[in-house]
């Protein structure tokens, strides 16, 4: 609810405070959706393997862009993202299988 209030109010405020409110609202919405998907996934209710792998990938790729040396090619963070997504998807899928009684999806 707080995310909707922040985003709604941010649309009516026309300076940089409005933009910050919209970004804060989006951040809260992402946190809320991620928290719900973690609970559903690890309870064995519904598989969110690709969503959770994507969240981990975005965090790792963001840090890779921030710390990469200037002489690294652009493809290095992309390759890191592909590897992290693949590994994360496998780990999250196996965790869901254990929690759901062997099913890979639900």
Task: Looking at the structure, tell me whether residues 19 and 68 fall in a common domain.
Answer: no
Q: For residue range 1-43, what is the model confidence (pLDDT) as tens digits?
A: 889 999 999 999 989 999 999 999 999 999 999 999 999 999 9
Query: Are 25 and 7 contacting, i.e. CB atoms less than 8 angstroms apart?
Result: yes
SS3 84: helix
Tell me what pLDDT residue 67 has: 87
Task: Looking at the structure, tell me whether residues 76 and 96 fall in a common domain.
Answer: yes
Task: Looking at the structure, tell me whether residues 69 and 26 fall in a common domain.
Answer: no
Tell me what pLDDT residue 59 has: 94
Q: Is this structure's pTM higher than 0.75? A: yes
Domain of residue 25 covers 1-42
Task: Looking at the structure, tell me whether residues 67 and 19 fall in a common domain.
Answer: no
b/e map 69-99, b = 16+ CB within 10 Å: eeeeeeeebeebbeebbeebbeebbebbbee
């Amino acid at each position: 609810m707080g995310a909707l209030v922040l985003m709604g109010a941010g649309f009516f405020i026309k300076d940089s405070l409005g933009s910050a409110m919209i970004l804060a609202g989006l951040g809260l919405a992402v946190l809320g959706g991620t928290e719900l998907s973690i609970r559903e996934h690890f309870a064995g209710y519904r598989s969110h393997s690709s969503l959770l792998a994507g969240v981990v990938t975005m965090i790792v790729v963001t840090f890779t862009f921030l710390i990469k040396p200037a002489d690294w090619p652009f493809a290095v963070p992309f390759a890191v993202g592909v590897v992290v997504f693949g590994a994360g998807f496998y780990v999250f899928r196996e965790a869901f299988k254990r929690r759901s009684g062997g099913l890979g999806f639900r």
